[in-house]
């Protein structure tokens, strides 16, 4: 069993605290992604788990053992870095077997484990090549192979795909997912790419400034973001968010435009409250061109001018002007639109989010 528990984990560099006492329970064989903007503490947290950074406070358990003071090699983990860090003078086979050789495993066992890993990753034909003669995706696979042969209880990944071009990144993402299905192991995966996190992880941890903002399944963090920050971070294109003041059952924006307070929030707000109103692009659509709205009575219709469009083939992103800003909407079964055209728009308010301007917290939860 290799669950990983972070208990009030703190990291300080001198007087500067960069991870502020985070709590996280990763279950055995769970795939957890850490996401968040640059500098929020993802790599630092992962490196503390790996044993590459001393822990300044709190405790870290792998299995049921406190490992704060154990060196990396005794933690039963394997880490895959963005840079792959392959040995250039060694063949793929030697790279993959190196840690076992250092660990003085018998040659027959090394061969067996390396062959198993190469079969899982489809590397058989490349085993005698050196890294310089491999593509980026192949190097990435070797780096994973090197991690697999060690049969760790926990895999740690730090942005393993960010050196690859977009197409290869998507392919490798699928391979990592298949790999986790074949070799079910606890995985902690750092990325700043929220789509990677959404597609790979059982649960996502959204970090910000050394804190955890929310932990949840991809569905939870998408549908029920706990904070305004999470709402803006998860989802592409991002959620439309605009501040408003509650007044007599309406949300009044700074421009003077208004929307009705969505039904589900009526009892949670009062006149004078400052809220941030959020609606995803999927939930604003040219009338007749959206996913079917469950409850038609929650749909607010308003004619608005189109500013620009981004046709994507099967759908078009339509930017419309409202409340002094551009709102992104999604048009299914698109037809041609002209800039400046007035368009009947549907706002599905049953899907709306409200956040307190003061605390950033969702008023839903
Ligand atoms: N050796 C160090 N000394 C001082 N501060 C550091 C050191 N390493 C990292 N930091 C700081 O710690 C914070 C967290 O850094 P970290 O590398 O964990 O961010 P990250 O979330 O991985 O970001 P990125 O997405 O850019 O990789 C940053 O503010 C960074 O400047
Ligand atoms: Mg990092």
Q: Report angle CA 71, 50, 142 to the nearest 5 degrees.
A: 110
Q: Do 276 and 195 have their domain in common?
A: no
Q: How many domains does the chain have?
A: 2
Q: Does residue 281 lie in a domain region?
A: yes
Domain boundary among 178, 195, 227: 227
How confident is the model at residue 61, as a pLDDT?
97
- CATH code where residue 201 lies: 3.40.50.300
Q: Are 92 and 53 members of one domain?
A: yes
In a domain, 235, yes or no: no
Confidence (pLDDT) at 182: 84
Could you read off the pLDDT of 189-199 as tens digits, one per residue?
999 899 999 99
Residue 190 CA, closest ligand 1 atom number: 22
In a domain, 365, yes or no: no
pLDDT of residue 294: 64
Report whether residue 192 contacts ligand 1, using a CB cutoff of 6 Å. Answer: yes
78 found inside a domain: yes
Provide the domain limits for residue 105.
4-227
> What is the pLDDT at residue 365?
60
Residue 251 within a domain: yes
CATH number of the domain within which 261 lies: 2.40.50.140
Taking residues 156-161, what's their average pLDDT? 91
In a domain, 361, yes or no: no
- Are residue 199 and residue 251 in the same domain, yes or no? no
Minimum CA distance residue for ligand 1 atom 22: 43
The answer to whether residues 269 and 194 belong to one domain is no
- The reported pLDDT for the residue numbered 171 is 83
With 90 as the cut, is the pLDDT of residue 137 above it?
no
Shared domain for 165 and 294, answered yes or no, is no
Domain boundary among 183, 204, 227: 227
The stretch 194-208 carries a mean pLDDT of 95
Q: 302 and 172 in one domain?
A: no
* CB contact burial 165-179 (16+ within 10 A = b; e otherwise): eeebbeebbebbeeb
Ligand nearest to the CA of 18: 1
**Could you tell me if 177 and 89 lie in one domain?**
yes
Residue 343: pLDDT band with limits 50, 70, 90: very high
> In this predicted model, what pLDDT tens digit does every residue of 246-292 receive, in sequence order?
999 999 999 999 999 999 999 999 999 999 999 999 999 999 999 86
Residue 234 lies in a domain: no
pLDDT tens readout for residues 288-335: 999 866 677 889 999 999 999 999 999 999 999 999 999 999 999 999
Q: Is position 26 within any domain? A: yes
Q: Is the CB of 13 under 6 A from ligand 1?
A: yes
Final residue belonging to a domain, choices 176, 192, 227: 227
Q: Which atom of ligand 1 is nearest to the CA of 44?
A: 18
Cβ(43) – ligand 1 distance below 6 Å: yes
Mean pLDDT, rounded, for 29-49: 96
* CA–CA separation, 123 and 132 (whole Å): 15
Ligand 1 atom closest to Cα of 37?
A: 25
φ, ψ for residue 128, nearest 5 deg: -100, 5
């Amino acid at each position: 069993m290799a669950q990983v528990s972070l208990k009030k984990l703190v990291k300080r560099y001198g007087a500067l605290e960069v991870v502020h006492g985070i709590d996280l329970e990763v279950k055995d064989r769970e795939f957890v992604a850490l996401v968040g903007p640059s500098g929020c503490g993802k790599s630092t947290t992962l490196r503390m788990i790996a044993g590459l950074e001393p822990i300044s406070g709190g405790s870290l358990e792998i299995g049921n053992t406190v490992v704060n003071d154990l060196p990396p090699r005794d933690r039963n983990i394997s880490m895959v870095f963005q840079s792959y860090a392959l040995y250039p003078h060694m063949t793929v086979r030697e790279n993959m077997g190196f840690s076992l050789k250092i660990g003085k495993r018998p040659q027959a066992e090394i061969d067996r484990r390396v062959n198993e890993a190469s079969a899982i990753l489809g590397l058989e034909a490349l085993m005698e090549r050196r890294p310089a003669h491999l593509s980026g995706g192949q190097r990435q696979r070797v780096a994973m192979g090197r991690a697999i042969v060690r049969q760790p209880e926990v895999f740690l990944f730090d942005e393993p795909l960010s050196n690859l071009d977009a197409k290869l990144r998507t392919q490798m993402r699928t391979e990592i997912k298949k790999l986790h299905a074949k070799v079910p192991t606890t995985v902690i995966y750092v990325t700043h790419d929220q789509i990677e996190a959404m597609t790979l992880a059982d649960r996502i941890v959204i970090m910000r400034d050394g804190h955890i903002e929310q932990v949840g399944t991809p569905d939870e963090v998408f549908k029920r973001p706990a904070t305004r920050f999470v709402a803006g971070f998860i989802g592409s294109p991002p959620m439309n968010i605009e501040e408003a003041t509650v007044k007599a059952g309406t949300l009044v924006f700074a421009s003077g435009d208004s929307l009705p307070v969505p039904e589900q929030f009526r009892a949670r707000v009062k006149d004078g409250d400052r809220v941030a109103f959020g609606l995803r692009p999927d939930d604003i659509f040219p009338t007749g061109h959206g996913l079917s709205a469950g409850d038609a009575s929650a749909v607010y219709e308003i004619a608005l001018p189109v500013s620009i469009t981004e046709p994507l083939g099967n759908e078009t992103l339509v930017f419309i002007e409202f409340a002094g800003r551009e709102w992104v909407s999604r048009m299914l079964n698109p037809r041609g639109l002209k800039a400046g055209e007035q368009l009947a728009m549907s706002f599905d308010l049953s899907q709306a989010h409200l956040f307190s301007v003061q605390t950033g917290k969702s008023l839903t939860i």
